[in-house]
């Protein structure tokens, strides 16, 4: 029988801490969330490989390192309200939920939203709220958010999402002028009208589809 807890700890040490992620909150969250539970049948054997994996409908579960990296880039202290765009399998939402007070996550593909909600409920993540819809428009009923993370690449950061950040809040998202290569950016809201943008690392994500993203 596979010892997933041992594989998870090795993943944290080698793939995440070993590549520079230092936040103890993030490392602890990555130790707690069972990635194998978020994968389709037959894929659990690869759960702790340092790679994205297909989850259906042309979507993927991100590699563990990039989930940890993006979570650390949000600079969460604990207790925040976080918005995630692109629920996918629900894995990254679970990682966020180990740190934040509440996670609001939006998935445009109905089948994935249903699957993610089912898995998160089974694992007891009552502080994760899943919605099916256009993530580029955010979740205005629960704005403003302390942090926003977008797990798909768009041509630019949607203005609607920027407006749903609290003053001092941070948004992490891949952007690029093509659908096959992006740069991960962190946007911090300085005032009601002013934002600071930092460019972090080159990445490759599935395209962000929606009214303020790419056309389907």
Please give the chain's pLDDT, 216 residues, in tens. 789 999 999 999 999 999 999 999 999 999 999 999 999 988 888 999 999 999 988 898 999 999 999 999 999 999 999 999 999 999 999 999 999 999 999 999 999 999 999 999 999 999 999 999 999 999 999 999 999 999 999 999 999 999 999 999 999 999 999 888 899 999 999 999 999 999 999 999 999 999 999 997
Burial classification of residue 133, based on how many CB atoms lie within 10 Å of its CB (0-12 exposed, 13-18 middle, 19 or more buried):
middle
- φ, ψ for residue 38, nearest 5 deg: -100, 5
Tokens of 163: 């407006």
Pick the CATH number of 4-203 from 3.40.50.300, 3.40.190.10, 3.40.50.150, 3.30.300.30: 3.40.50.150
> CA 213, 132, 152, 50: dihedral to nearest 10 degrees?
-170
Tokens of 27: 């490392």
- φ, ψ for residue 56, nearest 5 deg: 100, 160
Nearest Cα to Cα of residue 162 among 171, 153, 154: 171
Catalytic residue among 23, 62, 89, 216: 62
- The yes-or-no answer on residue 62 being catalytic is yes
Q: Tell me the C-alpha distance between 149 and 57, whole Å.
A: 21
């Amino acid at each position: 029988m596979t010892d997933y807890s041992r594989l998870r700890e090795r993943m944290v040490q080698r793939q995440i801490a070993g590549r520079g992620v230092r936040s103890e909150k993030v490392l602890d969250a990555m130790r707690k969330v069972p990635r194998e539970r978020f994968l389709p049948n037959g894929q659990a054997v690869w759960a702790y490989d340092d790679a994205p994996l297909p989850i259906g409908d042309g979507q993927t579960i991100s590699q563990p390192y990039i989930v940890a990296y993006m979570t650390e880039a949000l600079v969460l202290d604990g207790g925040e309200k976080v918005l995630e765009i692109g629920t996918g399998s629900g894995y990254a939402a679970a990682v966020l939920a180990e740190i934040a007070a509440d996670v609001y996550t939006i998935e445009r593909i109905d089948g994935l939203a249903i699957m993610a909600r089912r898995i998160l409920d089974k694992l007891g993540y009552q502080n994760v709220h899943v919605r099916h819809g256009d993530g580029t428009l955010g979740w205005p009923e629960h704005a403003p958010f302390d942090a926003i993370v977008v797990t798909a690449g768009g041509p630019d950061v949607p203005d609607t999402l920027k407006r749903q950040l609290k003053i001092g809040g941070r948004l992490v998202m891949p952007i690029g002028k093509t659908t096959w290569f992006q740069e991960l950016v962190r946007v911090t809201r300085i005032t009601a009208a002013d934002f600071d943008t930092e460019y972090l690392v080159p990445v490759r994500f599935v395209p962000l589809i929606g009214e303020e993203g790419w056309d389907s």
